[in-house]
Structure 1
Amino acid sequence: MRRSFYVAALLTSACAMTPSPEVEAAAAADAAAMASQAADAQAGLAYPQTRRTDQVDPRFGVQVADPYRWLENDVREDKEVKAWVDAQNAVTNTFLTTLPGREGLEARIKQLYDYERFGVPVKKGGHYFYAHNSGLQNQSVLFVRDSLDGEGRVLIDPNSWSKDGATALAEWSPSEDGKYLVYSIQDGGSDWRTVKVIDVATGKETGDEVKWVKFSGMEWTKDGSGFFYTRFPEPTAGQEFQSTNLNAKIYFHKLGTPQAEDRLVYATPEKPTYGHYATVSDDGRWLVITTAEGTDDRYEVHAIDLRARGAKPKALITGLENNWSFIGNEGSRFFFITNKDAPKLKIVAMDVGRAGNPITPVVGEQDSTLDGASIVGGKLITSYLADAKSAISVHNLQGKKLTDVDLPGIGTASGFGGDLDDPETFFAFTSFNRPTTIYRYDVKTGQASAWAAPKVAFNPDDYSVEQVFYNSKDGTRVPMFIVRKKGTTGPAPTLLYAYGGFNVSLTPSFSATRLAWLEKGGVYALANLRGGGEYGKAWHDAGRLANKQNVFDDFIAAGEYLKANNIASPKGLAIQGGSNGGLLIGAVVNQRPDLFDAANAAVGVMDMLRFDRFTAGRYWVDDYGYPNKEADFKTLLAYSPYHNIKTGVHYPPMLVTTADTDDRVVPGHSFKYISALQAADPNGEPHVIRIETRAGHGSGKPTDKIIEEASDVLAFFAHYTGLQL
């Protein structure tokens, strides 16, 4: 289902036998001993000495100190940074091993993670391609079936690619006839990809290889002669994980030829900050090129007639003013999702075969936010967010609503891919208390049936999911999901999670690591802050650029609501966020250190004055602004986590998590932030950093690393919120 292109679990189960008083007494003694060890470790926590410099930059009349800039250097290239990482990890690892119940927590997470998982199938040439994980495999395996209910066979197993399990199968796409499959390899969590091709019948590689691919799909021509992809110039040696990504270009790779002979299809050398993504239309005639400059949904669209030799790109939409997400086509009739004159989005059709490319309405703007659409079996399948919950409808290609797709409950539905003439499609459904189930949907009859359902080591009906609304500082009504085990009453240790940016919508999903927290009587809360896409363009705009403080106010108000309404314990509110959400955690801890009792800022953007100087950071100016523009600089400086840490403030316990191969948000952000926090509050609560090796921003992380990190984070939270493990 298409909308936009750039923008991408805890203890042993209850025993049937009641433990004896002697066993209970021994367990209590062990817990007390561990708690004492943790207290001793905390009291004796000695941070590594971090070198400070006198680096000061004059910016618009402000002297901006940056004493830890040297920590921006690549850990793989700089010996001093590597020594600092090793020293910090030694302190953190020693401390984390003292946390009460951590080993049992890891054992339970491993049990909960050990269930069979399927991805949404892709059908091509009568074959069904899908990802599968038997439970604890570090990487999911790509399978293929030759019929809907046929026996699956392994096509690609990435678990043999590296000893540490950190080399992953990333994007993949079968050719139209199902004869070939192009796939990309992700190593150590990096965004860089190496692309190869496999013969589906034999399982052997063809020898085709393409390098330096990033932020790209892989789109086959309908005849299977080759595929289109996006790549960047090869970076300077030693700068692969830090240099800014500029000059994206679309190429065509013909099967059986070397990459050096790939044909350049589209580029904008005069506008190096433009990024491009290629899609082949449903009938194979058109290459549709979508262009963006940042992360905001503002696109230009060009089309190239693949049947006309030497055809030039035809401009369909110019100006980077609105969202124009290509859905598919019926002949010359191109379908798009757009927010032009529709903040919650609508669907229109453009006739590219007529002069002026006239646009006609298909499905108008609704009360709920349009989240995606696809064309399958001659029908238009639309996905809406109704207060951050999925609702699916089916229309004909003229826009008339035909039916709704019944979903199993409050949750998230995704998938619905396929071709114009395909009679079936597949979708995934998940919720906080329900692992992902794959459904087959018959487009003609409108019937959905389970295709792959997981068997899990818990009863989903033991957990409740509710949605509440609370008022932010300015009176804005904000939704929040609250999940807990039935029977959990009164104030309890609570984990609050949010993101709040880049038009990203947070919807219900299952997490095996989160379930372990719930099993022990903890509460999980997810707040849908402004800056996300839950309520369309206006909701996004209200949380970005000069309005970014609204995001922090929304999160702080969520924390206040949880405590005021006796959901969270008075001293039991843990907070967590990753990437832009890591920025969120850093900012709110600075602004309200008294409100939060433990925090985890994961792979966060912490230096708001230099984020645009590394890798993909330059895309983020749509949400954050330009540090080199005075008005934006003042806004950024006011909330930048790194720059707003103050000496003498009692900050709550903080566990920062990052990875050495994160080339999305470079780890220097986290390195600098934790150094400043440790220096400002050296004798306060623990402020430690956990730095994973051969891991990136999150995608491709092996299962064993996921379980280990989650065990550390949740044991940290449990210790400082009073959750008994």
Structure 2
Amino acid sequence: MTRNLFAAAAAIAIIAPAASAQDLTVGEYPETRQGDVVETIFGEEVADPYRWLEDDVRNNEEVADWVQRQNALTDNYLDMLPARDWFSERIGELFDYERFGIPTARGDRYFYNRNSGLQNQSPLYVQDGLTGERRVLIDPNEWADDGATALAGWVPSPDGSKLLYSVQDGGSDWRIVRVLDVETGEHIGGEIRWVKFSGLSWVGEEGFVYSRFPEPEEGEDFQALNLNQSVYYHALGTDQAADQLVYATPDAPERNNFAGTSEDGRWMTILSSTGTDSRYEVNLVDLDARDENGWRIIPLVEGFDHSWDQIGNVGSTLYFTTNHEAPLYRIVSIDMDNPQAGWTEIVAERDQPIAGASMVGDHLIVEYLEDASSSAYVMTLDGELVREIEFAGLGSAGGFGGSADSNETFYSFSSFNRPSTIYRYDVATGENTIFAAPEVGFDPEDFVVEQRFYESLDGTRVPMFIVRRADVAASGEAVPTLLYGYGGFDISLTPGFSPSRLAWVEGGGAFVMANIRGGGEYGRAWHDGGRRANKQNVFDDFIAAGEFLISEGVTPEDGLAIQGGSNGGLLVGAVANQRPDLFSAGNAAVGVMDMLRFDQFTAGRYWVDDYGYPDREEDWRILRAYSPYHNIQPDTDYPALLVTTADTDDRVVPGHSFKYTAALQAENLGERPQLIRIETRAGHGSGKPTDKAIEEASDIAAFLAYWTGLNPQDEGVQESD
């Protein structure tokens, strides 16, 4: 299914100390100037003394100096952590395995990413046929000395002769789009710029459609609001200035507009949305009917009420997943030769939400979430069940792309203790074969993955996954525990492999993922239960998870660390304010920390779907009540907090983390440190080079371990033969 633009940041794992926690001291925090900004909002005076830290670090010398001084303090502290070297070495070892992306077949060619282990970026390979020799088509490791320029999206042309791809520099959400001749490796034409939050879709072999924003004012690339996204068509061999405008909404500049084409090249679907919710207006273009008058827009769904995601088509009949009259989603079709006949239900809503669907050959593959774990079924185009696709236990499956003229599809499956294995699946016969399987330096059977359910404050039953070494789980010993959560934007947390999390568990700790409300694990009601006026449920669910882990003897009272990124960074900041006594340490990564001004920067305006509108009093009072920046409790013992962000984060601008950290350091919060780690040439998470990912994960793990009492130097699973 199409998912929202606000993705959760990559999770990282943790562990730590040999010496007494009081043995390491921070010293004096760098001095931070307090401004005199005070605003009266809905009758309440609100001070914002660190407003100046919102400025772009590239354009403000005072902010740049503050960043340098904070990093110097943090680096000095991290250098002293006893488990840092252990984590750096072990996480590096766990990263060092061959991993593959899911192949895409076009013509006789297969395209896929492959990383030999510790390459900063994963090169793109192509091979002729299943048994052909693979060759490197694009190696992004050659693009930048620091490894921070990444290959983002890529799409082969219908016959596999050309490749459309995008480049991400320094972790930014902006993309540069190029086209490559697959046979010669030569580029075709120039570059397309100012592309963001865009799909890339071929229109025949002659051009493609994409979405872009107007070029920002100089110096505003990483801060200005993203408005007036429009869909354009680019003909190969022409300049971007000659691109044809396909669809725009100048009277509604806040709308997102993005397009995709059907596998057979017949239809273009244009989805428009107003925020991060999966609520779309749908327009079509019959590409067979293009003429000298250009692109004829055919309205299909009006109003921003429901999700509509096109799966595929058979001629004039289009298939969609939707939550219209089905909060857990269903599959419907419509015949565009007779649209007045309306929608036909193909697959009815069931007790589990549909997580994705695709058309392969003359079959449907329908993916479900069953208590936050993947299941998938093959069905006929009439919705009749053919068979279930068997997976290896609790885990996450993804992929299942394909074409109407082939029964072949590929998918990945992973879990907390199993890196992704890539499978080739035949929908006609049910034959399931391994395309690529990793060789890893540990035995997955040395770890236990279990799912438990607990009650939140209001009695809601919430699932969590608990990962431990088998011997630790069997002993029943309470061990330092890392609790991770997100809780927003209809994003579901499912089992997946992380080298840093596994290092934490290898070191004798427990890793726990809580599937709190606000996500999509149980459909629309679960999402609605954790947003807007219901946002406090997210924090209550997470706090209840911590209390459950202590009461069940999974973790000792002084051994609980918490972590979250992006919206999960907000989660960590909010619960640290509300229950500082419950947690020993936390990592708030790239978090939304000023809930009264989040809508003023870049993509922030989209998030009103989940958070509400800061300029509306009812919403403002809810936001004011939990905003991490505005609710720090002075003269209270706080957990040790490591805030992490990056200078090129143009999704959640780093000013959120800067202001929050300055406010923490200005208060008397006890003996434990409140530090910030600011990465350079990195963004919200995607595109981060492997060496930076290992370094950051090691720093965070060592920090959390130190303050929860985990000493991985005395523990660990031996590498398997």
TM-score of the pair, normalised by structure 1: 0.95
Query: In structure 1, which of residues 718, 721, 724 is the aligned counterpart of residue 705 of structure 2?
Result: 718
Alpha-carbon distance in 2 for matches of 1:384, 1:276: 27
Secondary structure in structure 2 of the residue aligned to 1:183: strand
Alpha-carbon distance in 1 for matches of 2:189, 2:389: 43
Shift in CA distance, 537/653, structure 1 to aligned 2, threshold 3 Å: same
**Contact 2:596–2:623 (Cα < 8 Å) also in 1:** yes
- Give the alignment of 1:29-68 within 5 angstroms: 35=19, 39-42=22-25, 44-68=26-50
Secondary structure in structure 1 of the residue aligned to 2:471: coil
- Give the alignment of 1:105-504 within 5 angstroms: 105-222=87-204, 224-308=205-289, 309=291, 310-356=294-340, 358-488=342-472, 489=475, 490-504=477-491
Cα displacement string for residues 448-489 of structure 1 (whole angstroms, at most 9, x for unaligned residues): 111000000100010000000000000000000000000103
**Contact 1:491–1:570 (Cα < 8 Å) also in 2:** no
- Give the alignment of 1:518-557 within 5 angstroms: 518-557=505-544
- Partner of 2:3 in structure 1? 4
Secondary structure in structure 2 of the residue aligned to 1:129: strand
- Partner of 1:590 in structure 2? 577
**Contact 1:11–1:108 (Cα < 8 Å) also in 2:** no
Alpha-carbon distance in 2 for matches of 1:41, 1:524: 25
User: Does the alignment pair 1:74 with 2:73?
Assistant: no
Number of residues paired by the alignment? 701
Deviation, structure 1 residue 229: 0.3
Alpha-carbon distance in 1 for matches of 2:512, 2:235: 49
Alpha-carbon distance in 1 for matches of 2:270, 2:671: 53
Secondary structure in structure 2 of the residue aligned to 1:380: strand
| Gap regions ≥5 residues in structure 2 | 713-721
- Partner of 1:85 in structure 2? 67
- Give the alignment of 1:669-708 within 5 angstroms: 669-681=656-668, 684-708=671-695
The residue type equivalent to 1:290 in the other structure is L
**Contact 2:482–2:563 (Cα < 8 Å) also in 1:** yes
**Contact 2:54–2:654 (Cα < 8 Å) also in 1:** yes
Alpha-carbon distance in 2 for matches of 1:128, 1:6: 28
Shift in CA distance, 196/47, structure 1 to aligned 2, threshold 3 Å: same
Deviation, structure 1 residue 540: 0.3
**Contact 1:579–1:604 (Cα < 8 Å) also in 2:** yes
Shift in CA distance, 383/445, structure 1 to aligned 2, threshold 3 Å: same
Deviation, structure 1 residue 372: 0.4
Q: Percent identity?
A: 59
Alpha-carbon distance in 2 for matches of 1:355, 1:289: 17
**Contact 1:3–1:337 (Cα < 8 Å) also in 2:** no
- Partner of 1:16 in structure 2? none
- Give the alignment of 1:507-522 within 5 angstroms: 507-522=494-509
- Partner of 2:651 in structure 1? 664
Shift in CA distance, 277/680, structure 1 to aligned 2, threshold 3 Å: same
Deviation, structure 1 residue 608: 0.3
Alpha-carbon distance in 1 for matches of 2:408, 2:279: 32
**Contact 1:606–1:641 (Cα < 8 Å) also in 2:** yes
Deviation, structure 1 residue 6: 3.5
Secondary structure in structure 2 of the residue aligned to 1:270: coil
**Contact 2:418–2:444 (Cα < 8 Å) also in 1:** yes
Secondary structure in structure 2 of the residue aligned to 1:571: coil
**Contact 1:117–1:454 (Cα < 8 Å) also in 2:** yes
The residue type equivalent to 2:575 in the other structure is V
Alpha-carbon distance in 2 for matches of 1:194, 1:11: 35
Secondary structure in structure 1 of the residue aligned to 2:557: strand
Alpha-carbon distance in 2 for matches of 1:10, 1:661: 23
Alpha-carbon distance in 2 for matches of 1:3, 1:169: 21
- Partner of 1:25 in structure 2? none
| Gap regions ≥5 residues in structure 1 | 13-30
The residue type equivalent to 2:310 in the other structure is F
Deviation, structure 1 residue 3: 3.7
The residue type equivalent to 2:379 in the other structure is H
Alpha-carbon distance in 2 for matches of 1:6, 1:40: 43
Relative to structure 2, which stretch is displaced further, 676-685 or 70-79? 676-685
Query: In structure 2, which of residues 593, 597, 601 is the aligned counterpart of residue 614 of structure 1?
Result: 601
Alpha-carbon distance in 2 for matches of 1:514, 1:480: 15
- Partner of 1:635 in structure 2? 622
Alpha-carbon distance in 2 for matches of 1:624, 1:418: 37
The residue type equivalent to 2:624 in the other structure is L
**Contact 2:374–2:394 (Cα < 8 Å) also in 1:** yes
**Contact 2:271–2:281 (Cα < 8 Å) also in 1:** yes
Alpha-carbon distance in 2 for matches of 1:570, 1:208: 59
Alpha-carbon distance in 2 for matches of 1:594, 1:464: 29
The residue type equivalent to 2:549 in the other structure is L
**Contact 1:589–1:596 (Cα < 8 Å) also in 2:** yes
**Contact 1:294–1:618 (Cα < 8 Å) also in 2:** yes
The residue type equivalent to 1:665 in the other structure is V
Alpha-carbon distance in 1 for matches of 2:520, 2:651: 21
Cα displacement string for residues 227-270 of structure 1 (whole angstroms, at most 9, x for unaligned residues): 00000000011010000000000000000001010000000000
Deviation, structure 1 residue 7: 5.0
TM-score of the pair, normalised by structure 2: 0.96
The residue type equivalent to 1:142 in the other structure is L
The residue type equivalent to 2:402 in the other structure is G
Secondary structure in structure 2 of the residue aligned to 1:216: coil
Cα displacement string for residues 537-580 of structure 1 (whole angstroms, at most 9, x for unaligned residues): 00000000000000000000000000011001120000000000
**Contact 1:252–1:264 (Cα < 8 Å) also in 2:** yes
**Contact 1:10–1:105 (Cα < 8 Å) also in 2:** no
Deviation, structure 1 residue 41: 3.9
Alpha-carbon distance in 2 for matches of 1:425, 1:683: 56
Secondary structure in structure 1 of the residue aligned to 2:542: helix
Deviation, structure 1 residue 377: 0.8
Deviation, structure 1 residue 329: 0.9
The residue type equivalent to 1:55 in the other structure is V
Alpha-carbon distance in 2 for matches of 1:299, 1:703: 36
Secondary structure in structure 1 of the residue aligned to 2:558: strand
Deviation, structure 1 residue 647: 1.4
Relative to structure 2, which stretch is displaced further, 308-317 or 430-439? 308-317
Relative to structure 2, which stretch is displaced further, 256-265 or 683-692? 683-692
Relative to structure 2, which stretch is displaced further, 596-605 or 284-293? 284-293
Deviation, structure 1 residue 325: 1.1
Deviation, structure 1 residue 39: 4.2
Deviation, structure 1 residue 207: 2.9
**Contact 1:232–1:245 (Cα < 8 Å) also in 2:** yes
Cα displacement string for residues 562-620 of structure 1 (whole angstroms, at most 9, x for unaligned residues): 00110011200000000000000000000000000100000000000000010000000
Shift in CA distance, 263/311, structure 1 to aligned 2, threshold 3 Å: closer
Deviation, structure 1 residue 5: 5.7
Stretches of 4+ aligned residues off by more than 2 angstroms = 2-12, 38-41, 681-684
**Contact 2:261–2:268 (Cα < 8 Å) also in 1:** yes
Deviation, structure 1 residue 631: 0.3
The residue type equivalent to 1:204 in the other structure is E
